[in-house]
Amino acid sequence: MSSIRPIEKLNTTNQVVGHHINGRIFIDDTERSQAVYNPATGQITRRVALAGKATVEKAIAAAAAAYPGWRQTPPAKRARLMFRFKDFLQQHANEIISLLTEEHGKVLDDARGEFTRGLEVVEYACGAPELLKGEHSKDVGPGIDSWSEFHPLGVVAGITPFNFPAMVPLWMYPMAIICGNTFVLKPSEKDPSAPTRIAELLQEAGLPDGVFNVVHGDKEAVDTLLTDSRVQAVSFVGSTPVAEYVYRTGTANGKRVQALGGAKNHAVVMPDADMDNAVNALMGAVYGSCGERCMAISAVVCVGDTVADEMVKKLAARVSRLKIGPGIDSQNEMGPLISKPHYEKVRGYIDSGVAEGAELLVDGRGLTVPRQPEGFFLGGCLFDRVTADMRIYREEIFGPVLCVLRVESLQEAMQLIDEHEYGNGTCIFTRDGGSARYFTDNIKVGMVGVNVPLPVPVACHSFGGWKRSLFGDLSAYGPDAIRFYTRRKTISQRWPADSIEKAQFSFPSTQ
């Protein structure tokens, strides 16, 4: 392992958050920059550099130069470095969690949960020497042995969203790097400090220069990654329109692409459900992180009016009492939205729901938070009697807005879910094993929970939806990540006999 060495630290009081290229912080003074806000105060805290094409190409070149040496590094040695990185992350956990809360706005407990789930993927990556083992078959033919190996791709890239600035990047590059690839990360420019600081920790853990690089930017940076021939694969998480663009552009340029898109996650509540526990579970699943999660429950489908009436009564009482304020205050349950434009977008959806005739039982549009008049705060909202043709149901809102729909049967609920364009996550609340088994076996959704509203797979499984929630064949992290970041090579070997053998013109077989 290379020696541990200090590098220039990210100073969050500096004016500009720079890129991390070839082991150093890099800022090109000729490039554009963008304001970074504290969404709880609405104030600019720093700026972030926006990489142009030349800067992204500089990062790709650094990754390409580092690849041959890193590819030849034994997996066990890569794993020892990953173990050290894990230790560094744990030592700096509070620092990273504070950055998440400051720039995203999520409450501290939620930021801590994000950090922990990202750390779990690092732990899984530490097992790569076992995961990368090939397969061997002896005597597949007369004197012939055959085996398969998993080879890294080369330079790969990740493009990640604002809502999980630490966790989603950690879904990608630890798995890619442990497989022998080098990596260029383009995180969200809205909250860039946490991924940049984590890059420094990985460097301090002993990662060779150029193996991992971070560039901040917008569409120009994204397009450079998607079109540069040195980039072999791209992993993306974000909205469905952008996911589809990334998939089409990347594959058109010969790249392997996995692009995780949007969601409309339903929770089905059956008549036999434990109502109080279901309400408690839904409060966190709907309003946690201000609804800015691709796995957030945004539609509750109640089977029967009796269930719906009880559910909305209990939910309305809880939503109206949500403790909302700056995430740094541990007493708060929900923080602000990420930005002023996103705040206005979510408010527009609420206005649309009212105009279309849904019943707004709890209206969060009038919320004021003491001493934070400029913060991007929106109260929890609850709609009842939403129908499938309404915009607030069809589209992903990505805010603290819950739609309650009423149906007469489990089959009707499942038809509603199956007909939606998204198929990311869903769950069912029931005490009946038969209903649960039928639902999990037949619903056309990629991640399913039974009395678990956020069925986010643990690190040793893979994360991915169906339909227009995932473009590509392989999901994120877990076993699918090993397959995504490697290519299989199969080798057949035979040593000829001492005598000259007769030419064979038939197609080879085991017969």
Active-site residues, by number, are 294
Q: Report whether 155 contacts 64 (CB < 8 A).
A: yes
Using DSSP's 3-state secondary structure scheme, residue 447 falls into strand
The residue among 165, 190, 171, 179 whose CA lies nearest residue 258 is 171
> Which secondary structure element, helix H or strand E, spans residue 489, and what is its range?
strand 486-494
For strands 381-384 and 359-362, give the pairing. antiparallel
Among the listed residues 199, 206, 200, 265, the one whose alpha carbon sits nearest the alpha carbon of residue 397 = 265
End-to-end CA distance of the chain: 49
Distances (CA, A) of 300 to 103, 377, 404, 430: 30, 24, 5, 13
Residues 306/269, Cβ–Cβ less than 8 Å: no
In this structure, the dihedral spanned by the alpha carbons of residues 457, 463, 465 and 469, taken in order and rounded to 10 degrees, is 130
In the chain, what's the furthest Cα-to-Cα distance? 92
3-state secondary structure 379-411: CCEEEECCCCCCHHHHCCCCCCEEEEEEECCHH
Cα gap 169→174, rounded to integer Å: 9
From residue 54, alpha-carbon distances to 34, 222, 331 in Å are 18, 12, 46
- CA 90, CA 72: separation in Å to the nearest integer? 28
> CA dist 451 to 267, 440, 459, 463, Å?
9, 12, 20, 19
| Rounded-to-integer distance, Cα 452 and Cα 219, Å | 36
Provide the total of helices (H) and of strands (E) in the chain, helices listed first: 16, 23
Q: Which residues contact 388 (CB under 8 A, 6 or more apart)?
A: 394, 405, 416, 419
Inter-CA distances, 328 with 92, 108, 134, 185, 377, Å: 17, 6, 47, 28, 14
Give me the residues paired with residue 33 across strands: 49
398's CB contacts (< 8 A; 6+ apart) are 163, 291, 292, 296, 342, 346
- The C-alpha angle 201, 205, 210, rounded to 5 degrees, equals 80
